[in-house]
Structure 1
Amino acid sequence: MHSEILRPMVVLIAWTLVMLVWMLATRLPAMKAAGADLGKLVGSKASDADRALPPEVQWKAHNYNHLMEQPTLFYAVCTVIALTGTGDGVNAAFAWVYVALRIAHSLVQATVNKVGPRLMLFLASTVMLAGLTLHASMAVF
């Protein structure tokens, strides 16, 4: 039997891959339209793309990068919770809420990119992460 908390972890991983595909599907055509030759690009930086591509295209890339940041803590704390046998009940619920909030954050950032709603979603997901961290620390200490 596996821990229930593994399910939201897998869903967030799958969502991250969805964002990767969405980013590539919009960014590659925009790069071509901007005249970028992928065969000649060497050592470019994210800021180079921010200057060369439309903001709406870059929003997907920015969100993909965000999914590589705080969610890494989510994966780590959920793994601790799963290993301690406390990944059901309230911890699974917190994890599902975290994932739902991160998906909502992605959709806001990738489409309208309004900072206010993004910030509220980020803060709410951070509260869920803090709760998971507290529960993980209670399980191991």
Structure 2
Amino acid sequence: MHSDFLSPMVALIAWTLVMLGWMIATRMPAMAAAGIDLRKLVGTKGADADRALPAAAQWKAHNYNHLLEQPTLFYAVSAVIAISGTGNGINAWLAWGYVAVRMVHSLVQATVNRVAPRFALFLLSSLLLAALTLNAAIAVF
């Protein structure tokens, strides 16, 4: 038997993979247009791509990286909530809210990349994550 609370976790993982696909689909043509040959690259890093590729092509890569940062905390706290059996009610709403806000954040960053709405969405997702963490702490302590 599994917890329905695992669904938001899987949804965010799936969204991260969507962003990975979008990043690849955007970056590969941008790299070709910039004359970058992957076979000749040795030891490069993200900052090199930021200098060589158009900003809009990099926005998807930046967001993909962001989806591998704070959401790792979401996965951990979600596992605690699922294991503790407290993934219903408000915790389910908070988790789905977190996933929805992160998805909107991705769309903003990958398209228009305006900092003010991105920051507002990041702050909101952080508050949702903090609430989940508090509820997980209450469940296990």
Indicate the RMSD between aligned Cα atoms, in angstroms.
0.6
Match of 1:77 in 2: 77
Where does residue 8 of structure 2 map in the other structure?
A: 8
- Could you state the TM-score of these two structures normalised by the residue count of structure 1? 0.98
| Residue 5 of structure 1, CA deviation | 1.5
1:54 is matched with which residue? 54
**Which residue in the other structure is 1:107 paired with?**
107
User: What 5-or-longer segments of structure 2 have no aligned partner?
Assistant: none
Deviations 1:15-74 (A, max 9, x none): 000000000000011001101110010110100000000000000000000000000000
Identity of matched residues, %: 71
Counterpart of 2:42 in structure 1 is 42
**Any stretches of 5+ residues in structure 1 without a counterpart?**
none
| Amino acid paired to 2:13 | I
- Contact 1:3-1:88 at 8 Å conserved across structures: no
For 1:91, the equivalent position in structure 2 comes to 91
Alignment size in residue pairs? 141
Q: How does 1:97-136 map to 2 (within 5 A)?
A: 97-136=97-136
Structure 1 residue 83: Cα displacement? 0.4
TM-score of the pair, normalised by structure 2:
0.98
Distance 1:13 1:5 in 2: 14
- Partners of 2:96 and 2:58 lie apart in 1 by 27
Q: Which aligned runs of 4 or more in structure 1 are off by greater than 4 angstroms?
A: none
- CA drift of 1:2 comes to 2.2
* Residues 94, 132 of structure 1: 8 Å contact kept: yes
Distance 2:139 2:40 in 1: 52
